[in-house]
Each structure stands twice: as C-alpha cells, then as structure tokens.
C-alpha cells in the first residue's frame, strides 16, 4: 500500500498503553495536552503512574478542566501515582514562552520527553500571531522552536544520566505535507512577519497549514543534527487523521469527504506514545517522520522535501537548515536572557 493510503488506512498500533515501560520519576511536557490527541496521551501517561506530566497550553482554565477530567475519569496507581501539572504558554505570542520555561525550570530538575503536539489548523487566511507571523507558521513552528531551544539545556543534562535514547523531543507533523505546500518545502519570503497578505498562495489555509507541518518535520531533522551526539532523540510524527476540534473550521463538504478516514483521537495518541517511549526508536532514527499508528516510518516522503534536508554542499536544497536559521533570527530577543542572567 502506498504512503498515501497507508496513512489514511493505517495498520493497527504496535505500542499502546499496555506497552508503557516503568515511568518512575520521569518528567514529561505535552503541549496542547488539554484537548484532542494530547489529552489522550496525557491520560495514558497518568494511568501508567510514576511520572509528572505538564500540560502546556494557552488557557489556564481549559488546562485545569482537562486535569480535573483526567483525574476523575482515569485512575493512577496508589503506590506510584502520576501528577498532572499546568503550564500556561501561548505559542502564538513569543513573549509568553521564556516565562513559561522559567516557571517549569523553577520546579523541575529533569525533562524526559517533550511532545510538541499543540497546533492550530484551518485558520482564516490573514490571521497572524502577536508578532505578525502567519498564524499556522507562528503557532506551530516559531513558538515550539523557541520553547524547545529554551528547554534544550535541561534535556541534554537529563540525557547524561538517563538510559540511552530515552530523552526525546517529538514534533507533530501531518499527512498534508505529502499533498500540499510549496515545491521545495518552505518559501521563507512568504513567511516574513506582516507580509502574509503580499503572497497569493498564503491566502489558502491548506497551503499555510502545510507549510507549518513541513516546518515541524524540518525542525525535528535540524534539531537532530544538533542533539544526537548528546544522546537526545529528535523525531517528527504524523499522528494520523483523528476526530478532534482541529477539524471544526473545515467546510461541511470537506468534512463529509474526510469523515470515513477519521479515527478516535486515542489512535493518534498511540503514534505519539510510540515515538516518545518505544525502545524501538533510537537516536539513529533522528530526523525521521513516524506515521500512524506508530511502529513505522514514512515509507517515501516527497523528493523535494527530502532534498531540503540536505545542505547545498551535499547536493540538497538546504531549505531545512535555512528554515532553522530563520527561526533563530525571528525568535531572537524573546529568549529572556536578561531575566535569567545568561
């Protein structure tokens, strides 16, 4: 079965709540853990016991309701309970990220897995973040990029004494990158702040969402180049097509078309669970793109996107590297260095 159909009609998951290893003392962050796929993932980790799970999202009250819902509808082992904690951060406003990371660092000595799962889709053309970036690119890539960068020192420190390949960063991509978005990956000129309206292609919300999801894979691949030697695994996943509020803004006819291929969000959480915890995933997989429902990698990404992963001196287009550097430049000034005295 080709890459397209095997993501629409995936084989059964190979790693589920029954395969979760002992999590004693481990600390996790799930961005967007108050809803959809992230919520299901948080619930599974809570039930497994022994760990601390931060639900990092933009609304304190929605995080709190999800924590109440998980703790009343799921059980955690009495002898080794898990703890759910809130972390308020708005990925569409770069000013909120350093304070959220400082808040986390004030309470935790380790970070085992960061699931960069939060995201927006199908936002109206012209929508922008607080800093004027196209809303999908800003929320799905720039915010998570900065968040990850600021957490990296703790991730690499944790990796020094942790079992091999157990410290991980997971970025969340989508099947849309196989079908939509610019040839060659990302056109940085289209992504400049306050410039969205200047580009015709950027008026298409599938295009802008796809750019951000290509960006998520590229961020995973570029991060891998920087952290593999320190023992941190960095991969991306397409969680799979699942019924969540992420689909709410889609037109009724598109909803009708996709309906037969939408699954329970728990299935998407299995993909993320596998990427974050399965022993099968190691640093040598860094930069790969997992596909639903986990247990396997994308069998054949688009050639033009693969070219982007290689530098120009290696006969690639170098787009992923250029994208990483662009994210560095755009987020400069939001790292909160002064406050932390770095």
Ligand X SMILES: NC(=O)c1ccc[n+]([C@@H]2O[C@H](COP(=O)([O-])OP(=O)(O)OC[C@H]3O[C@@H](n4cnc5c(N)ncnc54)[C@H](OP(=O)(O)O)[C@@H]3O)[C@@H](O)[C@H]2O)c1
Residue nearest ligand X (C-beta atom):
36
> Which 8-state DSSP code applies to residue 98?
H
Q: Residue 209 catalytic?
A: yes
Per the DSSP assignment, residues forming a β-bridge with 30 are 55, 115
- Compute the least distance from the CB of residue 11 to ligand X, in Å: 17
Peptide bond into 293 cis (omega under 30): yes
Q: Are the CB atoms for 53 and 82 separated by under 8 Å?
A: yes
Binding-site ranges for ligand X (CB under 6 A): 32, 34-38, 57-59, 62, 89-92, 117-121, 139, 172, 174, 238-239, 241-242, 244-246
Minimum gap (Å) between residue 276 Cβ and ligand X: 14
Report d(CA 188, CA 176) in Å as an integer: 19
Minimum Å distance from CB 187 to ligand X?
20
Secondary structure (DSSP) of 259-278: GGG-B-HHHHHHHHHHHHH-
Catalytic position from the list 46, 54, 207, 209: 209
Q: Among residues 53 and 242, whose Cβ is nearest to ligand X?
A: 242
Provide the 8-state DSSP code for 142. I
Structure tokens at 106: 């004030």
Which of residues 165 and 171 has its CB atom nearest to ligand X in the complex?
Answer: 171
Active site (annotated) includes residue 270: no
In the complex, the smallest distance separating the C-beta of residue 131 from ligand X, rounded to whole angstroms, is 12
Burial 188-216 (b: 16+ CB within 10 A, else e): eebbeeeebeebeebeebbbbbbbbbbbb
Alpha carbons 295 and 275: distance in angstroms, whole number: 8
Closer CB to ligand X, 20 or 89, in the complex: 89
Catalytic pick among 43, 205, 213, 288 = 213
Whole-number CA gyration radius for the chain: 19
Give 169's strand partners.
114, 234
Of the pair 35, 305, the CB lying nearest ligand X is at 35
Smallest distance from ligand X to CB 262, Å: 7
Q: Which one, 36 or 50, has the nearer CB to ligand X?
A: 36
What is the C-alpha to C-alpha distance for residues 78 and 115, in angstroms, rounded to an integer?
A: 26
Catalytic residues: 209, 213
């Amino acid at each position: 079965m080709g890459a397209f159909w095997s993501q629409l009609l995936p084989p059964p998951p190979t790693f589920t709540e029954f395969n979760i290893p002992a999590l004693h003392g481990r600390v996790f962050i799930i961005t967007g853990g108050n809803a959809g796929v992230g919520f299901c993932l948080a619930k599974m980790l809570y039930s497994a016991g022994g760990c601390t799970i931060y639900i990092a999202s933009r609304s304190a009250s929605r995080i709190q309701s999800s924590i109440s819902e998980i703790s009343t509808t799921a059980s955690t082992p009495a002898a080794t309970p898990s703890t759910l904690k809130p972390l308020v951060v708005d990925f569409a406003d770069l000013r909120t990220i350093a304070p959220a990371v400082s808040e986390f660092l004030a309470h935790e000595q380790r970070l085992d897995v960061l699931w960069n799962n939060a995201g927006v889709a199908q936002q109206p053309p012209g929508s922008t973040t607080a800093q004027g970036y196209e809303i999908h690119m800003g929320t799905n890539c720039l915010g998570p990029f900065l968040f990850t960068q600021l957490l990296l020192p703790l991730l690499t420190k944790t990796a020094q004494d942790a079992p091999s390949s157990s410290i991980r960063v997971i970025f969340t991509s989508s099947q849309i990158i196989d079908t939509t978005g610019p040839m060659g990956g990302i056109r940085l000129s289209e992504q400049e702040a306050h410039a969205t309206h200047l580009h015709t292609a950027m008026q298409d919300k599938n295009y802008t969402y796809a750019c951000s999801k290509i960006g998520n894979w590229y961020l995973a691949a570029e991060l891998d180049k920087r952290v593999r030697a320190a023992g941190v695994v960095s991969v991306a996943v397409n969680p799979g097509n699942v019924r969540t509020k992420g689909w709410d803004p889609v037109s009724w006819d598109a909803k009708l078309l996709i309906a037969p291929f939408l699954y329970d969000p728990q299935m998407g959480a299995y993909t993320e669970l596998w990427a974050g915890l399965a022993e099968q995933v190691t640093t040598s997989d860094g930069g790969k793109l997992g596909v639903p429902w986990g247990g396997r990698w994308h069998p054949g990404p688009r050639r033009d996107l693969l070219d982007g992963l290689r530098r120009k001196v290696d006969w690639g287009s170098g787009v992923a590297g250029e994208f990483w550097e662009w994210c560095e430049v755009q987020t400069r000034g939001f790292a909160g260095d002064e406050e932390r005295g770095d």
